Amino acid sequence: MSEDSYSFEYDEYGNTKKILIHKTGISIQGSNFTNKGSAFEVKERESLGIDGTLPPTPRSLKSQVANSLIKVESKPDDIERYIHILSLFNRNVTLAHALIRSDIEKFMSIIYTPTVGLAVQKYSTIFRRANGLHFYPGNIDKAEEILKRYVHQDIRVAVVTDNQGILGIGDQGAGGISICLGKLMLYTQGAGIAPWHCLPISLDVGTDNKELLESDEYLGWRHHRISGSEYVKFIQRFAKAFKSVFPNALCQWEDFSKQNAFAVRDAYLHDLISFNDDIQGTGSVTLAAILTAMKIKKEELKQQVFLVHGAGAGGIGIAEQIEVALVESGISLAEARKRIFTLDSGGVVSSDRKLEPYKAKFAKNPVEMPWLEDIDRNYLLEVVKNAKITVLIGTSGQAGCFTQEIVEAMCENTERPVVLPLSNPTSMTEALPTDIYKWTDGQALVATGSPFEPVEQNGKKIRIGQCNNVFVFPGVGLGVLACGTREVLPTFFTAAAHAVSEQVTKEEMKKGVLMPPVEKLNKVSKAVAVAVGLAAFKEGVSRPCAFSRFQHDNDEKKLKKLVNNMFWKPLYLPLVPVDKK
């Protein structure tokens, strides 16, 4: 169905009220935005010119979801379930999202981690239909023209990747766009941003993955990765085109390599409405777990000493967000940085080493830390002991590196150590929650990056909170759109962290749980959106929402009303035939 065959009509909050059909007939069933499958009502079939194209008895959306659940469960494994859901998404986007919403915890593990990693690797072999846009050196000069084809969808959020830093599997070439699509499905599920407002984008600058380059199946640009000034110019061309075509849309950078992640984020902080989820989303969700731990411990953030083991994009992003929160708590920037240690494969990140620029701000002066001088002692256990670490965070991907000796050493520094083994997948986690509880006699406060089954402690089942970025980025996106800000500030992510933490109930905190359950995703995302909007007002960067006629100001009730009413739900919209003029 061509772009001029339908259009959207919005209410005053910018939410889709109806879809206007400019060209009736069987093509309506060919667009995943307008197709309802077997759910077209009899009168609707007649008015839309599709009478006779479907069996006589319509199905309700509820019945369609039940039928789809049976089909999904019949698949032999999760990658086949992924393919089935993606195919459904490409036929009938409302039904696909209604299916996902029926059990968000289960289906999130299929459309996103961990299954999406396999989907990325198999992208070329399981390809059925294109989703989003692929820019490469052969078409980047036409980026503005290509983006304009999507204007009719009123794009509000784009997730953009250069495919190099896919979590746990690295450079995956063109397949990285599957991550973008999965994230955007979660924007829809978490923040109610309608799927026609979402655009996944791959910046295919080549791949250094030898297996892909040698594969006859590979669909990406068959060249080694461009770098240096050539890479910078490519990103600049894209950013200029994106800003020109979608000046009010949010651009989320995703899965760039470590240094490029920081360089690209920082280069466009003020030119685009953008952020990097691997850096800032990871930092925010980890801070949320730490803030909950502080409530349980009845201690202040500025009383803690932090160690981030793994100084990649995620690890430094966590350190950055802790730094922002510490400064907001009333201490100086210098004092905040003294309380944050980072550790990489070379040991403690220190100023006497040659460092990547993004690591330098947290480098320690070895003169001030005499225990760092002995290279044989410059490792995790010694840092925990000598720096008196109270909050230990793992982003290293080194399975089992948080040993019993290290965790027990933390107990010498604090009665209730905070231990956050965040590496994905479960096979790469720094320590198992059940072991951490055993080593600390249940006193540790634990959250993980991967999902874990509840742990039995003192006769009670304890849910393991998951530091999943999905608690942050959808709400940040919705909040940014609602408040009309032209830039995404670090304080937004601190506000988001507080909002996520506040969704953990007192009953759960009594059990030591640090994060809300995934089933509360909608509620959490709305709370984050409001918090981000209020932070924007406080910072003086808010302006009227470009997507809404609803008038709001620095009023929490009005902002909540806007956020609630901007929220799209997977229900079939009226399809209204109109004369095309």
Residues forming the active site: 112, 183
Instruction: Specify whether the CB–CB gap between 96 and 189 falls below 8 A.
Output: no
CA distance 480 to 488: 7
What are residue 273's phi and psi, to 5 degrees? -85, 90
Residues 118, 123: Cα–Cα separation, whole Å: 8
SS3 track for 45-80 = HHHHCCCCCCCCCCCCHHHHHHHHHHHHHCCCCHHH
Residue pair 252/198 in contact by the 8 Å Cβ criterion:
no
What's the alpha-carbon Rg for the chain, to the nearest Å? 24
What DSSP state is assigned to residue 402?
Answer: S
Within 279-425, where are the H helices?
Answer: 282-297, 313-328, 333-338, 380-386, 404-413
Residue 339 CA to residue 335 CA, distance in Å, equals 7
Q: Tokens 């009845």 sit at which residue?
A: 298
Q: Cα–Cα distance between 272 and 286 in angstroms, integer?
A: 25
Question: Is residue 534 exposed (0-12), middle (13-18) or buried (19+ Cβ within 10 Å)?
Answer: buried
Euclidean distance between CA atoms 140 and 235, whole angstroms: 9
Q: Which residues pair with 344 in a beta bridge?
A: 347
Give the C-alpha separation, 73 to 174, whole Å.
Answer: 29
Q: What string of DSSP letters covers 541-554?
A: -----TT------S
User: Omega before 425 cis (within 30°)?
Assistant: yes
485: number of Cβ within 10 Å: 24
Secondary structure (DSSP) of 191-255: H---GGGEEEEEE------HHHHT-TT--S--SPPP-HHHHHHHHHHHHHHHHHH-TTSEEEEES
C-beta separation of 212 from 173 below 8 A: yes
Nearest to 523 by CA among 470, 482, 579: 470
State the DSSP H helix or E strand holding residue 308, giving kind and residue range, or none if neither: strand 306-309
The whole-angstrom distance between residue 521's C-alpha and the CA centroid of its chain comes to 12
Measured CA to CA, the distance from residue 314 to residue 472 in angstroms comes to 14
CB 504 within 8 A of CB 516: yes
Identify which of 370, 383, 371 has the alpha carbon closest to the alpha carbon of residue 342: 383
